[in-house]
C-alpha cells in the first residue's frame, strides 16, 4: 500500500508532495547522484582498461540504482537503466565490442538518467541527445547484437523526468565517530558552563584566578568542538575533480584532440562550500585549455610531441592553504601576441616591457583575449577575468606560468574554509577592523614626519618606497589623527602597500558574517564579524584596498 502511494506521489510535482515524501525523495536523490557519478567514472575507466571486475561493479551499481528508482515510481528511469544493464551484460559476454561511439552512447544514457531523476546532466547541453533518441539507439544496438533473441519491444513512451528541485538540500555524509565526539563535547561544554555559572553565582568564594581557569576549561572544549565541526564540513576535492574526466573526454572527441586527463590529490580535504564554488572557475580553465592550449595529434607530432596530450588537475595542502593547479602540456601562451593585444587595448605603452609574470597576468584582465575567434567552447564572450574574480571572491589568488611549446599552469590558491579566518585586529578611532592575517607582513610605526592630513602617502620602508592608505580618511571616520600612527604592511600578488591605523590590537580567530544589504558592494570591505564585547567589526578586502592604494600612488612608488 505504501509503495503504491509513493509511486503516485512522486509522479506529482514536488510541490504536491507531503513532507514525508520529500524526505524520501531527497534521500533517493542523494544516493542516485552518488550512484550515477560512480557509474560514469566506471564507464570512463572501462574505456581505458577493460576487464571483468569493472563490469561487475558497474552492473552492481546500476542494479542498485534501478531498485531505488523503481521504489519511488520513476518508471522511465528504470526502463532506461534496464536497457543499459542489458548492454553491459553483452559487453561482459563479449558479444559487443566497446568503442568510442558506444562509450559515448552509454555516457549519454547516464546523462538521461540524471535528467529523469531530477539531477543536472554532466555533459554540455549542446552535446546531449534527447532521451527518446538515446533509448532508440540503445534498443537498436541491443537488437543488432541479439539477432536470435526475440526481445519483446517495450512500448514507446515519453520520458517522464522528475521535476528538478530548485532548492535541493545539500547533504553530507558524516562518520558516526565524529558525531559521537561532537555529542560528547556538547555534553562536556554544558557541564563546564554549569560549573562556571555556579562559581560566578558564588564569586566571593573563589579567587579571580580560579574563575579564569574555569572559563579557560570551557573555552578549550569549545575550540575542540569548533575544530570538529569544521572537519565535518571538509570533503575530498576528488568529488569536484571527477566530472572533468568526462568533460575532457567529450571535448577531445568533439574537437579531434587526444587528451588524457590525470587527477592527483583527490583525497585532499576542503570546505564543502569551496568545493562547490570552485567548480565554475575550474570548468572555465579546463575548457580554455582544451580549446586554446591543447594541439591536435597532427600538430603535436609535427612539434615532436606524443600525439596524446595530458591535462592534469592537482590539489595539495600548502602552508595552510589549498593549492589547485590546472596543468596542460599544450602550446603554451604566446607572449608576443599577449603584448601586442595589450598594446592594442591600451593596457601597455608602446615602449613598456613588463616582466614575465606581469605580462602573463594580463590574460586575467577584464576584456582581454588573444583568441582570433570566439568559440562555443571557451569564448562565449567571457574572459579569464571571470576565473580571477570568482577565485578572489573565495579569498583566493590566481597565478599563471607558461613555457612556449611545453604548456601552461594555472595555480589557484584558496583558503581551507570560508567561515573562519585568522585575523589581525586594528582600531581607528572607536571602530575596529579585521585584516586577514595571511595578508599581513609586518607592522611599523609611522614617523612623525608622515603625520599630516591626507588619504594616501608614500613611506620609506628600509629605503624602498611604500604607498599607504590612511583608513580614517578612506572610510570618512572623522576625528583627529593621533600623535602616533601605526602602519600595517599588507601584501598580495598586486604588490605591497601600507594601511595607516591608530592602534594595533593583535591577532585572533574571526568568524565571518556576510555584510548586510546596505553594505554589500562597498569597496574595501569583504565581510563583518562580532567582537567579544558584542560590537561589529568590518573585515577588510585587501586586494581591493591594494588596488586603490596602488592606483593613487605615484608611478615611482609602485615601481
For residue 457, give the C-alpha cell: 602617502
DSSP-derived secondary structure for 180-195: HHHHHHHHHHHHHHHH
Neighbours of 202 (CB within 10 A): 8
pLDDT band at 213 (very low <50, low <70, confident <90, very high): very high
Task: Please report the sign of the dihedral spanned by the C-alpha atoms of residue 183, residue 186, residue 191, residue 194.
Answer: negative
3-state secondary structure 268-303: CEEEHHHHHHCHHHHHHHHHHHHHHHCCCHHHHHHC
Write down the pLDDT at residue 153.
46
pLDDT at 25 over 90: no
Quick one: pLDDT at residue 384? 79
Buried b (16+ CB within 10 A) or exposed e, 361-392: bbbbeeebbbeeeeeebbbeeebbbebbebbb
Q: For 289-331, write each residue's pLDDT tens digit.
A: 998 889 999 999 999 999 999 999 999 987 667 899 999 999 9
Cell 563490469 belongs to which residue?
55
* CA atoms of 529 and 375, how far apart (whole Å): 44
- Average of per-residue pLDDT across 10-27: 64
Please list, in sequence order, all residues whose beta carbon lies within 8 angstroms of the beta carbon of residue 97, skipping any fewer than 6 positions away.
none
- Which range has the worst mean pLDDT, 185-199, 344-358, 397-411? 344-358
Is residue 537 helix, strand or coil?
Answer: strand
Are 510 and 435 a contacting pair, CB within 8 Å? Answer: no
**Has residue 12 got a pLDDT over 50?**
no
Neighbours of 300 (CB within 10 A): 20
Residue 148 has pLDDT above 60, yes or no: no
Model pLDDT, residue 383: 65
Instruction: Tell me how far apart the alpha carbons of residues 347 and 466 are, in angstroms, rounded to a whole number.
Output: 24
Decide which of 391 and 386 is more confident.
391
Report how far Cα 441 is from the mean position of its chain's Cα atoms. 27
User: Residue 295's pLDDT is what?
Assistant: 93
The CB density around residue 61, as the number of other CB atoms within 10 Å, is 18
pLDDT digit string, tens, across residues 52-83: 666 788 888 888 888 888 878 888 999 999 89
pLDDT per residue as tens digits for the range 274-290: 888 898 889 889 988 99
Q: What is the length of the chain?
A: 559
pTM over 0.85: no
Instruction: Count other Cβ atoms within 10 Å, centred on residue 94.
Output: 9
Distance between CA 364 and CA 401 in Å, rounded? 12
Question: Mean pLDDT in the chain?
Answer: 81
Amino acid at each position: 500500500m505504501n509503495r503504491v502511494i509513493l509511486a503516485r506521489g512522486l509522479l506529482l510535482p514536488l510541490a504536491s508532495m507531503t513532507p514525508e515524501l520529500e524526505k524520501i525523495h531527497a534521500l533517493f536523490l542523494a544516493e542516485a547522484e552518488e550512484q550515477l557519478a560512480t557509474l560514469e567514472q566506471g564507464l570512463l575507466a572501462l574505456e581505458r582498461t577493460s576487464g571483468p571486475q569493472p563490469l561487475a561493479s558497474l552492473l552492481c551499481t546500476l542494479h542498485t540504482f534501478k531498485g531505488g528508482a523503481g521504489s519511488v515510481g520513476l518508471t522511465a528511469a528504470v526502463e532506461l537503466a534496464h536497457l543499459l544493464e542489458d548492454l553491459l551484460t553483452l559487453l561482459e559476454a563479449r558479444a559487443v565490442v566497446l568503442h568510442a561511439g558506444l562509450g559515448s552512447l552509454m555516457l549519454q544514457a547516464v546523462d538521461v538518467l540524471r535528467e529523469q531523476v531530477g539531477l543536472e546532466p554532466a555533459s554540455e547541453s549542446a552535446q546531449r541527445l534527447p532521451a527518446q533518441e538515446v533509448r532508440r539507439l540503445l534498443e537498436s544496438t541491443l537488437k543488432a547484437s541479439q539477432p536470435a533473441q526475440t526481445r519483446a519491444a517495450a512500448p514507446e513512451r515519453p520520458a517522464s523526468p522528475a521535476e528538478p528541485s530548485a532548492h535541493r538540500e545539500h547533504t553530507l555524509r558524516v562518520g558516526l565517530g565524529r558525531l559521537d565526539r561532537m555529542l560528547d563535547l556538547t555534553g562536556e561544554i554544558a557541564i563546564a558552563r554549569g560549573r562556571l555559572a555556579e562559581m560566578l553565582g558564588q564569586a566571593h568564594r573563589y579567587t579571580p584566578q580560579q574563575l579564569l581557569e574555569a572559563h579557560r576549561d570551557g573555552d578549550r572544549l569549545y575550540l575542540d568542538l569548533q575544530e570538529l565541526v569544521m572537519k565535518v564540513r571538509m570533503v575530498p576535492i576528488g568529488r569536484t575533480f571527477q566530472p572533468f574526466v568526462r568533460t575532457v573526454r567529450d571535448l577531445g572527441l568533439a574537437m579531434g584532440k587526444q587528451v588524457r586527463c590525470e587527477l592527483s590529490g583527490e583525497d585532499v580535504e576542503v570546505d564543502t562550500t569551496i568545493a562547490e564554488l570552485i567548480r565554475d572557475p575550474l570548468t572555465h580553465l579546463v575548457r580554455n585549455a582544451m580549446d586554446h592550449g591543447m594541439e591536435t595529434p597532427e600538430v603535436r607530432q609535427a612539434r615532436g610531441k606524443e600525439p596524446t596530450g595530458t591535462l592534469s588537475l592537482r590539489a595539495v595542502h600548502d602552508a595552510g592553504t589549498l593549492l589547485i593547479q590546472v596543468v596542460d602540456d599544450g602550446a603554451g601562451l604566446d607572449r608576443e601576441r599577449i603584448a601586442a593585444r595589450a598594446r592594442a587595448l591600451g593596457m601597455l605603452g608602446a615602449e613598456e616591457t613588463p616582466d614575465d609574470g606581469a605580462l602573463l597576468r594580463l590574460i586575467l584582465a577584464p576584456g582581454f583575449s588573444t583568441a582570433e575567434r570566439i568559440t562555443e567552447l571557451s569564448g562565449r564572450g567571457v574572459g579569464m577575468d571571470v576565473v580571477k574574480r570568482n577565485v578572489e571572491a573565495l579569498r583566493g589568488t590566481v597565478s599563471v606560468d607558461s613555457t612556449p611549446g611545453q604548456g601552461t599552469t594555472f595555480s589557484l590558491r584558496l583558503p581551507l574554509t570560508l567561515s573562519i579566518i585568522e585575523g589581525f585586529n586594528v582600531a581607528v578611532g572607536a571602530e575596529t577592523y579585521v585584516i586577514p592575517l595571511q595578508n599581513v607582513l609586518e607592522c611599523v610605526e609611522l614617523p612623525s614626519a608622515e603625520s599630516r592630513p591626507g588619504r594616501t602617502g608614500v613611506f620609506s620602508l628600509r629605503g624602498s618606497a611604500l604607498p599607504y592608505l590612511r583608513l580614517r580618511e578612506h572610510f570618512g571616520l572623522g576625528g583627529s589623527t593621533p600623535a602616533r600612527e601605526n602602519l600595517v604592511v599588507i601584501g598580495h600578488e598586486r604588490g605591497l602597500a601600507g594601511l595607516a591605523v591608530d592602534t594595533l590590537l593583535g591577532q585572533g580567530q574571526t568568524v565571518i558574517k556576510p555584510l548586510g544589504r546596505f553594505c554589500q558592494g562597498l569597496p574595501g570591505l569583504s565581510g563583518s564579524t562580532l567582537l567579544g564585547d558584542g560590537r561589529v567589526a568590518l573585515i577588510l578586502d585587501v586586494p581591493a584596498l591594494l588596488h586603490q592604494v596602488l592606483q593613487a600612488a605615484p608611478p615611482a612608488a609602485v615601481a
